[in-house]
Amino acid sequence: MLHHTGCGDGGEGDKTCTCFERAWTSVLGNMKKRFDSGPQDGAEWLRRLETWRAEAAKKAAAPT
């Protein structure tokens, strides 16, 4: 059993906990996949992450 604590109470803490609660299904699923089938190549994921970061930075810098 996994029990996640330490998000804080109310406001942003509640939002943080909700985010983590949603993420755990994916995180644990990926962890199971890793142990069932061995290491995974994360290069494609890292390329997508860099693309997302660049797009977010460009959007943040754009005049409104």
Average pLDDT (32-48) is 91
Q: How confident is the model at residue 46 (pLDDT cuts 50, 70, 90)?
A: very high
Q: According to the model, what pLDDT value does residue 8 have? A: 76
Contact between 48 and 38 (Cβ < 8 Å): no
Q: Is residue 22 part of a domain?
A: yes
Residue 42's domain comprises: 11-61
Total domains in the fold of the chain = 1
Angle at 7 between CA 57 and CA 18, to 5 degrees: 70
Q: Is residue 2 part of a domain?
A: no
**What percent of the chain is predicted at pLDDT more than 90?**
41
Angle at 12 between CA 50 and CA 53, to 5 degrees: 10
Q: Is residue 25 part of a domain?
A: yes
Q: Is residue 28 part of a domain?
A: yes
From residue 16, give the alpha-carbon distance in Å to each of 12, 56, 63: 6, 20, 29
